[in-house]
Amino acid sequence: MTLSGLFTPVATPFIDDEVDEAGLRANIRKYMATGLTGIVALGSNGEAVQLDEDEADRVVAIARDEVPSGRPLIAGTGRESTRATIAATRRAAALGADAVLVRTPAFFKQLMSADVFIRHYTAVADASPVPVLLYNVTMYTGVALQVEAVARLSAHPNIVGIKDSGSDVTLIADFLAQSAPGFTVLAGSGVAYYSALAAGAHGAVLALAGVATDACVEIRALVEAGRMAEARALQQRLVPLARLIGGQYAVPGLKAALDLLGYRGGLPRPPLGPVPPAVIDQLATALEAAGLSPTRPVAAS
Amino acid sequence: MTLSGLFTPVATPFIDDEVDEAGLRANIRKYMATGLTGIVALGSNGEAVQLDEDEADRVVAIARDEVPSGRPLIAGTGRESTRATIAATRRAAALGADAVLVRTPAFFKQLMSADVFIRHYTAVADASPVPVLLYNVTMYTGVALQVEAVARLSAHPNIVGIKDSGSDVTLIADFLAQSAPGFTVLAGSGVAYYSALAAGAHGAVLALAGVATDACVEIRALVEAGRMAEARALQQRLVPLARLIGGQYAVPGLKAALDLLGYRGGLPRPPLGPVPPAVIDQLATALEAAGLSPTRPVAAS
Amino acid sequence: MTLSGLFTPVATPFIDDEVDEAGLRANIRKYMATGLTGIVALGSNGEAVQLDEDEADRVVAIARDEVPSGRPLIAGTGRESTRATIAATRRAAALGADAVLVRTPAFFKQLMSADVFIRHYTAVADASPVPVLLYNVTMYTGVALQVEAVARLSAHPNIVGIKDSGSDVTLIADFLAQSAPGFTVLAGSGVAYYSALAAGAHGAVLALAGVATDACVEIRALVEAGRMAEARALQQRLVPLARLIGGQYAVPGLKAALDLLGYRGGLPRPPLGPVPPAVIDQLATALEAAGLSPTRPVAAS
Amino acid sequence: MTLSGLFTPVATPFIDDEVDEAGLRANIRKYMATGLTGIVALGSNGEAVQLDEDEADRVVAIARDEVPSGRPLIAGTGRESTRATIAATRRAAALGADAVLVRTPAFFKQLMSADVFIRHYTAVADASPVPVLLYNVTMYTGVALQVEAVARLSAHPNIVGIKDSGSDVTLIADFLAQSAPGFTVLAGSGVAYYSALAAGAHGAVLALAGVATDACVEIRALVEAGRMAEARALQQRLVPLARLIGGQYAVPGLKAALDLLGYRGGLPRPPLGPVPPAVIDQLATALEAAGLSPTRPVAAS
């Protein structure tokens, strides 16, 4: 199963601070009717760090229920310790995940050397029943897997790729140039999506693709067809939306955008709060600019 | 019970990647024979982020066993979600912790506004059966409680103080100047320990105090007696040690230093690894400079 | 005269800490035999900040001598004060510069607001006899013109473009999308050269183009022909060289590479020193990887 | 002549963008009637980077006129190149400066290694007719002399001290501990003034001392008398003022404060502009809190 293509990290909806399992199920079902290659459960945008272990397992189980076996289901299983990461990885695999996306450990920042990362990911990949994707999300972790470490890890038979959430496309290009053949490089920045594809990325995992799904699918098709100017123009229409649900408002922004599009978004888990009302207007405008038709839900008025 | 004074965050020793309960118990018992005011269990240096919930509870229970009821036992209970933080806080209180030290949530960095922190800590303090200490550890979290938020939170009847792990003593001075009367400000940087006390801090929670315990006790006494030059000179002798077990080698450095002094240090939990052999020599030299008598354990040779 | 195209910031050679006017002249003459659109005199790589006003004027005069009137000569004239910037701009124009490249003032970093930049550049452009290019070189200045300020300044009839030296192609894309029609956006990062062109940049000012001139010309032609994979592959061969003479060794690295290619490089002005001998070997290897034929000058052995 | 003590970097007033020589003279004359040890001409707050060489020389000459020979006059002479720094240093010495304060070169940030700094300062000190003070002002330069380099340079017979403008008092303590005997360490941060003295600094060069002169003199006396709590309390009253004229509004803030106190402040040189009107009110309030009696000048109403 190839992991090239376009994925979205599904949000985890809550009702009264409990996982809204029906809402999660409904959202995934809708995604399965789009051109998305597959989904990521328990990504950063899925508020994975806010879920306990039982909740995390339920999310994977529900996702597997809704994602047909022909389409890839990736589960986020990164934890601080190697031992907890392996445990989460094994549980996710047992629940049907096709691959795991393993965020770097990050708490003891100054200790997170290439050697530590290599030891960690090698142990996880050795123990994992399913293929492992490395995961750099420096904006949240404050640490980064560098090119040399990724190049070395790419030689491990069970480490099949990396998602890099940054907008530095020279890093994406380096990962592509330095890694083992067949190693999949996925972008994670909506703002830099076109540029990452132009640099040769094999696909992306984008919160943006959870709202502007068709446009994200089309940008990839345009780049593959060499229609760069059209791809750039379409990307540019998505930039304001990418900014709002990316760096600026993140999960609360994504959830508000989902609400505007008929998905189950709702409130993030505290201490995260909802976006301010004015941002909902900005989101509606940005969604329209991206060619979508946002509708204020009745419940939100 | 006052929380002014000198505390150390006890390391969590492991044997074969399992919590070494006997070792933990032995270490705390030794600390109870020193001039330390009390201890912090499950601090950053206790590798709290690497423990699962059951292990964390065991550490608190053991610590309560060993810390006499007259001396303060503080337990670290910060989690990313408010809900998990409250749950951990209640469990720690039930296990006998006198107060909880609650690290800021931090994953979604750009969303960690003063409002989010105030909402989080207010909910935690409302729910906590024991007094709450705020906890800024920016070197690890990448976020910081600012003065205004701390000032507002200091008015909450169940929020009794803050530990700030940075070396910015102007921030310590601001916390002292802007917070409610009776609010306790504890320093967390071994390198800046003297300067924080000179700025008026009420005490400290220091990994350094877990190895150079007597010297740390003495610095505080000297400052209180207005013998600044002597305090400065003693501090200066501790600086190399403070650097090695603080920013540079952190938990692995602390554990190696503990081994050299007859405490149970051992290996940190992976992916953290031991310090390189050369660092053990540096630690031994720094311990001697601090007036201690390190002994290479036979097992380490 | 269009400023789209490929430029190099010519190095300023020295002999015994004095400007080597003959060497400068020889270098420019060689560049005029290449596919470069034109040159920049007194850029960052020309050590402009290390020259006094008289030396700077001589460099412009010599460059005008050697650059035929049909080809653009751009002169760097940024200073900290508006008044000194205007004076330098007028002198450069009087000496024949076709346009000026005006680095942001930067010393008082926290005061460098959009308003300050807009006031500064408007005054300079009002007073300049020749068109003005804005110049962001954040790696050296620590400040940055943001998109909104550039968009506003792009409406000034005498502000014709911007050079941005960073590798953030999403910023390049924003400048393109938000600026007035006809505003020229030039990239300045050798490592991100292909990606900037793929994002739509109109050209570049590259130290890399002063050594790997033909390859840089070719990358631009390939991108314009839609042959992206070939352009990417050629870019990738230049990356090690771009790193060595860009961020890592900067002016000393550029000068050593020039020496290896038969240009007059020599020593930078102190306090800058030469690259270590081992770096000369790295440069030679990187030049070969880029398809060039470096020759160790006899004087260097 | 000792350089221990309290200095202020005098502002350079302008009228219609020309140096207001009479205003400068008047300001210095007033300072000579205070408890200041001496002054710094051409410091960062003197807008040195905005002056041309002739203007700079005039400022030194005027300062020497007004500062009696018994009191130290320090002149800022840092430039990017070693050659220009030496030239400025010699001119300042010839004009009567007792010592020079030499800001680190900084433009090529990644090249500013310890070796480069040591080579630069050694050459400058070798050539200087007067004693040299090192000068770290990282908030403006983005680079820093580290402890090891300062320790080595402190052994040079013509390098007599350092001014460090940061608020990191552990760095101040390190400079004190690692440098040669007799090496003078001066603080430069108004916010951290008390803490730097408590850490053992020999004095300070403070913009704050140009407005709250008496209070700054008193803090030093209190610390020397071991009356730490009183010193801390007085410092705390100065903090809001120190913030306004330090990091936040810098030169424009300092000049507005000078205007409020009857000194000649006026406008900074463009592109710097005046502080917003609301800030003048904040400054007046902060000056009152510091025990001063600000008066709105008629011209400003």
Confidence of residue C301 (pLDDT cuts 50, 70, 90): very low
How many other CB atoms sit within 10 Å of the CB of residue A70?
A: 7
Residues of B whose CB is below 8 A from D195 = 169-170, 173, 195, 198-199
Helix (H) or strand (E) holding B40: strand B38-41
Residues of D whose CB is below 8 A from C249 = 111
> What is the reported pLDDT for A155?
98
* D109 Cβ under 8 Å from any chain C Cβ: yes
> What is the reported pLDDT for D87?
98
CB within 8 A of D167, min separation 6: which ones? B168, B170, D189, D191, D192, D195
Tokens of B38: 């009390």
B57 pLDDT more than 80: yes
> How far is it, in rounded angstroms, from Cα A46 to Cα A56?
10
State pLDDT tens for residues B268-279. Answer: 999 999 999 999
Signed CA dihedral, B31, B32, B37, B38: sign only: positive
CA distance D41 to chain B (A): 28
> How far is it, in rounded angstroms, from Cα D56 to Cα B31?
61
* A116 Cβ under 8 Å from any chain B Cβ: yes
Do D198 and B199 count as a contact with CB atoms less than 8 A apart? Answer: yes
Nearest CA in chain A to C231: A199
CA distance D231 to chain B (A): 10
D15 pLDDT more than 70: yes
A122 pLDDT more than 70: yes
> What is the reported pLDDT for D301?
42
Do D140 and C107 count as a contact with CB atoms less than 8 A apart? Answer: yes
Predicted model pTM: 0.97
Q: How many CB pairs under 8 A join A and C?
A: 60
> What is the reported pLDDT for B158?
98
Judge whether C206 and C257 are in contact, CB under 8 Å. Answer: no
> What is the reported pLDDT for C1?
80
> How far is it, in rounded angstroms, from Cα C192 to Cα A170?
6
Query: Which of C165, C168, C170, C197 is most worth mutating to test chain A (most A CB atoms within 10 A of its CB)?
Result: C170
> What is the reported pLDDT for A300?
46
> What is the reported pLDDT for B52?
97
CA distance D221 to chain C (A): 32
Do B167 and D170 count as a contact with CB atoms less than 8 A apart? Answer: yes
> What is the reported pLDDT for B301?
42
* B104 Cβ under 8 Å from any chain D Cβ: no
State pLDDT tens for residues D247-293. Answer: 889 999 999 999 999 999 999 999 999 999 999 999 999 999 999 99
CB within 8 A of A201, min separation 6: which ones? A172, A176, A185, A186, A187
* C191 Cβ under 8 Å from any chain A Cβ: yes
> How far is it, in rounded angstroms, from Cα D104 to Cα C39?
31
* C228 Cβ under 8 Å from any chain A Cβ: yes
Average pLDDT over residues A199-217: 98
* C200 Cβ under 8 Å from any chain D Cβ: no
CB within 8 A of D38, min separation 6: which ones? D5, D7, D67, D71, D72, D73, D74, D98
Average pLDDT over residues B273-293: 97
C298 pLDDT more than 70: no
Average pLDDT over residues A247-265: 96
> What is the reported pLDDT for C297?
60
Confidence of residue B248 (pLDDT cuts 50, 70, 90): confident
A176 pLDDT more than 80: yes
Please report, as a single letter, which amino acid is at residue B68.
P
Do B119 and A270 count as a contact with CB atoms less than 8 A apart? Answer: yes
Mean predicted lDDT score pLDDT of chain D = 97
Residues of A whose CB is below 8 A from C191 = 170
CA distance B235 to chain D (A): 10
- Whether the ipTM is more than 0.85: the answer is yes
> How far is it, in rounded angstroms, from Cα D254 to Cα A151?
53
Active site residue A255: no
Judge whether D58 and D96 are in contact, CB under 8 Å. Answer: no
Q: What are phi and psi of A5, to 5 degrees?
A: 125, -165
Do D191 and B169 count as a contact with CB atoms less than 8 A apart? Answer: no
Of A195, A232, A239, nearest to C195 by CB-CB distance is A195
Residues of D whose CB is below 8 A from B226 = 226, 228
Q: Which residue has the tokens 């505007």?
A: A260
> What is the reported pLDDT for B296?
76
> What is the reported pLDDT for D296?
76
**Chain A and chain C touch, per 3+ beta carbon pairs within 8 A:** yes
How many other CB atoms sit within 10 Å of the CB of residue D110?
A: 13
The fraction of chain B above a pLDDT of 70, given in percent, is 98
CB within 8 A of A54, min separation 6: which ones? none
D154 pLDDT more than 70: yes
CA distance A44 to chain B (A): 9
CA distance B168 to chain D (A): 6
Average pLDDT over residues D34-44: 98
Judge whether C42 and C56 are in contact, CB under 8 Å. Answer: yes
Residues of C whose CB is below 8 A from D119 = 270-271, 273
* A276 Cβ under 8 Å from any chain B Cβ: no
**Chain B and chain C touch, per 3+ beta carbon pairs within 8 A:** no
* C138 Cβ under 8 Å from any chain D Cβ: no
Of C194, C200, C229, nearest to A232 by CB-CB distance is C200
Q: What is the DSSP letter of D299?
A: G
Query: Which of C179, C194, C195 is most worth mutating to test chain A (most A CB atoms within 10 A of its CB)?
Result: C195
State pLDDT tens for residues C194-213. Answer: 999 999 999 999 999 999 99
How many other CB atoms sit within 10 Å of the CB of residue C151?
A: 16
Helix (H) or strand (E) holding C84: helix C82-94
CA distance A198 to chain C (A): 7
E strands of B123-239, at which residues? 132-136, 159-164, 184-187, 203-205
Neighbours of chain A (3+ CB pairs under 8 A): B, C
Average pLDDT over residues B73-94: 98
* B198 Cβ under 8 Å from any chain D Cβ: yes
> How far is it, in rounded angstroms, from Cα A11 to Cα D237?
49
Do A247 and B142 count as a contact with CB atoms less than 8 A apart? Answer: no
State pLDDT tens for residues C172-182. Answer: 999 999 999 99
CA distance D230 to chain C (A): 32
State pLDDT tens for residues D223-256. Answer: 999 999 999 999 999 999 999 999 889 999 999 9
> How far is it, in rounded angstroms, from Cα B232 to Cα A76?
49
Judge whether A162 and A186 are in contact, CB under 8 Å. Answer: yes
A297 pLDDT more than 90: no
> How far is it, in rounded angstroms, from Cα B198 to Cα B217?
14
Mean predicted lDDT score pLDDT of chain C = 97
Tokens of C250: 């900067």
Q: How many CB pairs under 8 A join C and D?
A: 97
**Chain B and chain D touch, per 3+ beta carbon pairs within 8 A:** yes
- CA C8 and chain centroid, separation: 5
Do B169 and D169 count as a contact with CB atoms less than 8 A apart? Answer: yes
Of D195, D226, D229, nearest to B170 by CB-CB distance is D195
Residues of A whose CB is below 8 A from C169 = 169, 192, 195
A290-299, B18-27, C105-114: which range is least confident on average? A290-299
Tokens of B2: 């006052």
* D114 Cβ under 8 Å from any chain C Cβ: no
C159 pLDDT more than 70: yes
Do D271 and C82 count as a contact with CB atoms less than 8 A apart? Answer: yes
Confidence of residue A149 (pLDDT cuts 50, 70, 90): very high
